[in-house]
Structure 1
Amino acid sequence: MKTLTEIKKVRCFNRLVLFVVALGLITTFTACSNDDDSDIPVYSLKDVDGNYSGTMLTESDPPVNPQTNSPKEEQPEGATVTAEVKDNQVMIKKLPVDDLIKSIVDEETAGIIIENLDDINYNIPYTAAFNDDSKGSILLQLKPEPLEIKYTIPTQAQADGEEAPQITIKVTIEAEEKGQYTYKDQKLTFEIKATKVEVEGQPFEEFSPTTFSFDMAKK
């Protein structure tokens, strides 16, 4: 009888040991599984959000200031630009528009306008989608809106205390191709094109289409 009782105790002890071992294996497996999951990158279309800095190249067709008799064509360096991507918008700060102004008016007038022009901030709405490249990049379907440039040229009337008239230039902007954000180098590249200009509501027929090419890296 005593032997039977001892056998039952041994069996109960063995079951307890097996239960503890099994519980330990389950816990270990769960921990390993969680570790494996933590190594899997999580992608989001919001990954493009952030602050950027880089360059903007301006190219007109034909060029605004063509160089003749140049022994060697120099590559343009581009203007420095910064932007913030947030809430499905590319918000360009202090958009360089010097070349755009020079393509509309003569160089002397352009110089006066540029000197008296306030900073121009330009926002471009977009729709984002993952590229079909194993999520190596995000594509931006840009939806640019017209750009308005308002300026006031100092006049003699203003010196006499009268308010100088304000001139409004409306520029139609288009995006023929999608912009792209790449994960590898965290760069944002896109192009927009000025296709039409109106000065005080009147079309400016002599305007040459102008392309703005942006190449920026996330800060």
Structure 2
Amino acid sequence: MKNLIVLKVITVVLAVSIIFSLFSCMNEDRIDVPPVKLEDINGNYRGRLITVQGDLRNEKVIDFKVKKDSLTFQEFPVKEIVEKVVSDPVKVQAALTAMGKIKYKMNYTSVLNADKNWVELTFAPKTLELQIPVDGVIKKTLVTMEPKQKGYFVGLDYTLRFVFAAEKITVNGTELTPFEPITYNFPYCVKIN
């Protein structure tokens, strides 16, 4: 009988504490997200890039720059693209070395949300043109890039998020088939200045 009374008291105390915890959470003020301006997005960024093609997934850190209406990569990662054009791994590495750093620029338009605490970006990627050297021959490669969703610059932590994909590759006028799109996901990019 004593154990039953103790169990009932503990249950009542636990129930009351849960109820008070829930009410205290409901009464807390929401976190105020600081307002941003369209110009706040401009600057240099460092972000995590997750590249996905089918079951293959790679991650790396990449830097890029955002200006008024464009996003520019000074060293765009093209390894996955070159691997689709050149099948021999030794020749892939030789081609990447010969190509050097690949610059890529994407245009965008931006809109400030009604609360002025985040910016929505609509990307208009250009076709990426590559000259891939293989066995003394240059393979002219055109990569069609498409946005997968809108990008967002958030005022709470001044971070940028966006996703786009290489949807089609054409080599010397012939489209690669079958080809599974290569997705470039930037889930969290931090403004470094």
* TM-based fold match above 0.5: yes
Pick the TM interval, shorter chain: 0.7 to 0.9
Aligned to 2:18: none
Give the count of matched residue pairs.
Answer: 157
Please report how far the alpha carbon of residue 109 of structure 1 lies from its aligned counterpart in structure 2 after TM superposition.
2.8
Which of 163, 172, 190 is matched with 1:217 structurally?
Answer: 190
Identity rate of aligned residues, in percent?
A: 25
In structure 2, give the amino acid aligned to 1:86.
Answer: K
Instruction: Tell me if the contact between 1:93 and 1:122 (Cα under 8 Å) persists in the aligned partners.
Output: yes
Distance 1:110 1:98 in 2: 8
Q: C-alpha offsets along residues 56-100 of structure 1, whole Å, 9 cap, x if unaligned?
A: 110012538xxxxxxxxxxx5x22211111130011120111122
Q: Which structure 1 segments of 5+ residues have no match? A: 1-40, 65-75, 156-163
Instruction: Tell me if the contact between 1:193 and 1:211 (Cα under 8 Å) persists in the aligned partners.
Output: yes
Aligned to 2:60: 79
> Which protein has the bigger strand share?
2
Q: Does 1:105 align with 2:77?
A: no
Please report how far the alpha carbon of residue 126 of structure 1 lies from its aligned counterpart in structure 2 after TM superposition.
0.3
In structure 2, give the amino acid aligned to 1:115.
Answer: T
Distance 1:50 1:104 in 2: 34
Distance 2:35 2:163 in 1: 28
Aligned to 1:48: 41
Distance 2:137 2:84 in 1: 22
Distance 1:118 1:172 in 2: 21
Q: Which structure 2 segments of 5+ residues have no match? A: 1-33
Please report how far the alpha carbon of residue 175 of structure 1 lies from its aligned counterpart in structure 2 after TM superposition.
0.3
Distance 2:85 2:180 in 1: 9
Q: Does 1:126 align with 2:119?
A: no
Q: C-alpha offsets along residues 23-50 of structure 1, whole Å, 9 cap, x if unaligned?
A: xxxxxxxxxxxxxxxxxx7742111111
Q: Does 1:149 align with 2:121?
A: no
List structure 1 segments (4+ residues) > 4 angstroms apart after TM superposition.
none
Structure showing greater radius of gyration is: 1
Sort the Cα spacing of 1:217 and 1:43 in 2 relative to 1 into closer, same or farther, 3 A.
Answer: closer
Aligned to 1:189: 161
SS at match of 1:103: helix
